[in-house]
Structure 1
Amino acid sequence: MKNKNYIVLLYVIIGSIWVLLSDQLTAFLVDGMPVKDRALINSLKGFFFIAFSAVLLHYLVNLYNRSKKRELAYVQRELENSRKEQQQWYYAQKMAKIASWEYLLQTDEVIWSDNLYALFDLAPDAAITTVSFFLEQIHPDDLDGFLAAHEKTKLTGEMDYVHRLKIDGEWRYVREAGKVIYQDGKPYKISGVLKDITETFNRELLLNNALERHELVNKATHDAIWDWDLATSQVTWNSGLKQLFGYDHKQGFFKPDWWIGKMHPSDSKRVLDSLNVFVKQAKKRWEASYRLRCADGSYKYVFDQAYLVTDDNGAPRRIIGAVKDVDELRRKDEENKQLADVVSKVKSGVVIKDIGGKISWVNPSFEQLTGYSLNELKGKTPGEILYGPETSRVTSDAIVASLKAHDFFNIEIVNYSKSGEPYWVEVNSTSIVDSDGQPSGYIDIVTEITERKKREVEISEQNHTLKEIAWINSHEIRKPVASILGLSALANVATSPEEKEEYYKRINNCVTEMDEIIHQTSAKVNELMGKDHGF
């Protein structure tokens, strides 16, 4: 009973049937009875209907409630499964900003993360605001390709390019991935990451070449099915053998040694021992992962699984198996593990939030910065746990507005650690979208800038002092100097000694006034120099 309206409808139907039939049934039962007994039967008829209706309604209501409870439990299970899948998806994302950058298309400016400065062994406050410095570090043979990829990114919205880059005086292979961020429907900037892949470049190059040669085969993703007749020691393959590994399955039968000989020397003994145990012990299922040499000489990671067929006496008769090409999945899994390891060790704080702005994961650097553990932060918004008295309300409101609009933002704000100490941070936040392009959360890169903010305050104070010194030099000193020049001219033309003496006294007063001004200027200069040297 899933709808309470059905209960009302059923009650109306039963009541109508009772009204139509009860009088006829009662007349049949009381026919020939005394009047007193007839009255009793008519009264009992009403009580019976009331009792029957109460029991029926009680049963139907309970049935309806049980149905609703089952629906509620199902919805809760689906919500929990969705939450777990979303969390796993967050962890699998390639949002580990190994070295992040942003290129503002309108102003031709580049904003670097601290990690990118570190790659070039530069101070985080180095004055690099255009792309010219970065382009000078690209290998000349790769520059045209990089520029072409950059232009293509503006059209396609995404960038993924490998090239050589001079880092610390050495040519290194790097991989750059980026995405165009739009504002008011127009390209606003390209936000991307850069990863040094020199150590693994040769291996990845070989794998990529193999994948390119078999691009159409990989799209098909068919398994290579094999049937091993233990009595004749013959193995039959389907067409997947050629599609996946390049061997002609039309040759018909192969000996088991032929396939074993195609295994990587480091894997063959392990796999063969496992297969022998599987047959001897007559186990039903077997599986193994190993590297297999293809017809072109390259190796692929494969996942092989089989089922043992026995005769009526339980003796092994045939083995039916399937080989799956998992080379690309294996490579991506290794890359994801590397990226996950990097994001856990990156110096900048990394925060992943759900669509409601609540924290779902942070890296160890963010825990160290705030003093809070992941468990303490999880399920809370940054404002609930990190804001304090000196946090700007205007900035926090701007953050809320950007989150509601699912828009990127870059802000500087005062946060508070678990011990209550205020500190400045720069937050670069961008939204995460799911496979349907819908916002599903946010990722923040948090960098502490307390020392930088202190330097900005010191520079502002120094500028104020310099302005005061400039004012004294340009206004205060001019007054006594002008007076001295005028009095000196008058003294030269004075005729009486008394008049000259009076002029000299006034000149002396002007000199004393100017000396006092010079002392004030000297004091401010000493104060400024003391701040510069930390005195």
Structure 2
Amino acid sequence: MKKNNPMKNKNNIVLLYITIGCIWVVLSDQVIAFLIDGMPVEDRALINSLKGFIFIAFSALLLHYLVNLYNKGKKRELDYLQQNLENSQKQQQQWYYAQKMAKIAGWEYFLQTDEVCWSDNLYALFGLEPNAAITPAAFFLEQIHPDDLAGFLAQHDKVVAEGEMDYIHRLKIDNDWHYVRHAGVVVYQDGRPYKISGVMKDINDTFNRELLLNNALERHELVNKATHDAIWDWELSANQVTWNSGLKQLFGYDHHQGCFIPEWWIEKMHPTDRKRVMNSINSFVKQANKRWEATYRVLCADGSYKYVFDQAYLLTDDDGTPKRIIGAVKDIDELKQKDEENRQLAEVVSKVKSGVVIKDTDGRISWVNSSFEKLSGYTLAELKGKLPREILHGPETSQATKDFIAASLKVNDFFNIEIVNYAKSGLPYWVEVNSTSIFDSQEQHSGYIDIVTEITERKKREERINEQNQTLKEIAWINSHEIRKPVASILGLTALAKITDNIQEKEEFYSRIDSCVKEMDEIIHQTSAKVNELMGKEEGNEETINE
């Protein structure tokens, strides 16, 4: 600790000298008067003279002593100041390197003059010399990322109003964007904001690590949410199992209860599945296999059972001893139900008499049932990947119908058509096709399904009915036109024959009536022939059907 030296000030020396001089003047005369009392006059004069020399000598010695004392005090003070200066420089250097290692730099921003005072480290961060000819405030703002500049300026106004600053933004350092953090306080003068004093820290590495960690945690949480898995961690040495939040989400059990013993979960397995699953996992641990999986049913908190798919990974010590098992339980109950529905649907489709054809979005055949294989004579392997027109259509297939099918497929529209297909044997056959588009769970078009029904016999019957209708139309036309003509003629000639008395005219009328009768008889014979022809076809069809 520094000792206080009263002689370090020249004024103190002068004051001390005056004080001692005054004391000397007052006391010396009294002392001398006492000493020379009774002495001869000559001796008294000598003593008075000696008093002056003694004062001069004493004063000289006193001054010498005081000056030396003053010089020693100044020297000690200079030594102390030098030591403090060296310590300060050392501490400043240590602080400089500490700031540099910590990537921290101090700054002061003077609000009235819009000037910034930087520490050497802040200059160094930008690769500048401390005496660089720049305008610090303007230069600093130019280094802020454009997307962060507005926020930084808004933060500045907020700091002036509230008195404290803590803000993170991007700053260009070494030609790269770094995340930095500013912390500072407002210094007031005469009750008004005078300057903002603070420090800046480069937190880019920390920020990026935290960002990566947060991204990883976020991805992990998103994966859990997306996969709906219940994650479990079985520590074999402690015989404890820890679950994540998926346990509650999937099965309704509270995972916050902590660690469960393995028997808790085993008891939740369906009694029919329990022995099989436990034998499987015991063998997995005993043989120290890396991976394990099983499908079984689990009792939920609401009393229902769900199908789950459980898979796990075994962690071992350096010597291969099983240490932990980390697994994930996936709820596949809905999938199992859909699989069962699909199985039943597939069974129904495979057994229906109508042909079923499933096509992709390009209209190519991807699957047919056995009924369609029998109908077409082609196997699924022969049909798969083919367009129907490439393998099923032939010369009698209507081009208009094919164009209608193509137009419907372009707009994914439902259609119902009758068309001639050709079997593998080359024989044509008629089918009725009901086609509709199919969509996946995201409502995206995934293909088409055709229900194909053979209508060859129906088309033949329709053709026969059309022929019969045509014959009946001809008969009706004969009845309405051919027979009406001779009948009208007969009626007219008969009327004329009744009103004439001329024998020759009557004979002429009767002759013409006879011709009309013969003409009508011929028409009747033609009609009878057509009826007989029609009846013959009907009998032939009945015999064919009976056969």
Which residue is 2:278 aligned to? 272
488-497 or 360-369: which moved more? Answer: 488-497
* Distance in 2 of aligned mates of 1:219 and 1:309: 25
* Distance in 2 of aligned mates of 1:227 and 1:354: 44
Shift of 1:374: 3.1
Residue from 367, 375, 399 that aligns with 1:369: 375
RMSD: 3.6
Residue from 485, 495, 502 that aligns with 1:479: 485
Which residue is 2:396 aligned to? 390
* Distance in 2 of aligned mates of 1:381 and 1:332: 30
Shift of 1:246: 1.1
- Cα gap change, 1:435/1:225 in structure 2, threshold over 3 Å: closer, same or farther? closer
Give the match's secondary structure for 1:390: coil
* Distance in 2 of aligned mates of 1:437 and 1:294: 32
* Distance in 1 of aligned mates of 2:520 and 2:315: 111
* Distance in 1 of aligned mates of 2:445 and 2:375: 28
Is 1:302 the counterpart of 2:323? The answer is: no
Give the match's secondary structure for 1:526: helix
- Cα gap change, 1:300/1:534 in structure 2, threshold over 3 Å: closer, same or farther? same
Is 1:262 the counterpart of 2:262? The answer is: no
TM-score (normalizing by structure 2): 0.50
Which residue is 1:456 aligned to? 462
- Cα gap change, 1:458/1:402 in structure 2, threshold over 3 Å: closer, same or farther? same
* Distance in 2 of aligned mates of 1:404 and 1:246: 48
Is 1:425 the counterpart of 2:431? The answer is: yes
Which residue is 2:216 aligned to? none
* Distance in 1 of aligned mates of 2:537 and 2:259: 87
* Distance in 2 of aligned mates of 1:437 and 1:449: 34
Q: Number of residue pairs matched?
A: 318
* Distance in 2 of aligned mates of 1:434 and 1:271: 34
Which residue is 2:338 aligned to? 332
After superposition, the C-alpha distances for 1:313-365 in whole angstroms (9 at most, x for unaligned) are 54444433332211112222222333344444444434444555544443333
Is 1:244 the counterpart of 2:250? The answer is: yes
Q: Map 1:13-412; keep pairs closer than 5 Å.
A: 221-311=227-317, 314-353=320-359, 357-400=363-406, 402-403=408-409, 409-412=415-418
- Cα gap change, 1:396/1:239 in structure 2, threshold over 3 Å: closer, same or farther? closer
* Distance in 2 of aligned mates of 1:381 and 1:312: 60
Which residue is 2:113 aligned to? none
* Distance in 1 of aligned mates of 2:444 and 2:259: 52
* Distance in 2 of aligned mates of 1:285 and 1:436: 33
* Distance in 1 of aligned mates of 2:334 and 2:516: 88
Shift of 1:473: 1.4
Gaps of at least 5 residues in structure 2 are 1-223, 542-547
Report the AA paired with residue 248 of structure 1. D
- Cα gap change, 1:321/1:442 in structure 2, threshold over 3 Å: closer, same or farther? closer
Give the match's secondary structure for 1:419: coil
- Cα gap change, 1:239/1:388 in structure 2, threshold over 3 Å: closer, same or farther? closer
* Distance in 1 of aligned mates of 2:508 and 2:495: 13
Shift of 1:225: 2.7
Is 1:469 the counterpart of 2:478? The answer is: no
After superposition, the C-alpha distances for 1:352-404 in whole angstroms (9 at most, x for unaligned) are 44555544443333332222233333444333333333233444345445555
Is 1:531 the counterpart of 2:537? The answer is: yes
TM-score (normalizing by structure 1): 0.51
Report the AA paired with residue 422 of structure 2. Y
- Cα gap change, 1:378/1:457 in structure 2, threshold over 3 Å: closer, same or farther? same
* Distance in 2 of aligned mates of 1:267 and 1:438: 38
Report the AA paired with residue 260 of structure 2. F
Report the AA paired with residue 485 of structure 1. L
After superposition, the C-alpha distances for 1:63-85 in whole angstroms (9 at most, x for unaligned) are xxxxxxxxxxxxxxxxxxxxxxx
Shift of 1:273: 2.5
Q: Which has the higher contact order (CA 8 A, sep 6+)?
A: 1
* Distance in 1 of aligned mates of 2:311 and 2:249: 18
- Cα gap change, 1:350/1:272 in structure 2, threshold over 3 Å: closer, same or farther? same
* Distance in 2 of aligned mates of 1:384 and 1:424: 17
Which residue is 2:420 aligned to? 414
After superposition, the C-alpha distances for 1:101-153 in whole angstroms (9 at most, x for unaligned) are xxxxxxxxxxxxxxxxxxxxxxxxxxxxxxxxxxxxxxxxxxxxxxxxxxxxx
Gaps of at least 5 residues in structure 1 are 1-217
Identity of aligned residues (%): 77
Report the AA paired with residue 303 of structure 2. G
Report the AA paired with residue 363 of structure 1. N
| Greater radius of gyration (CA) | 2
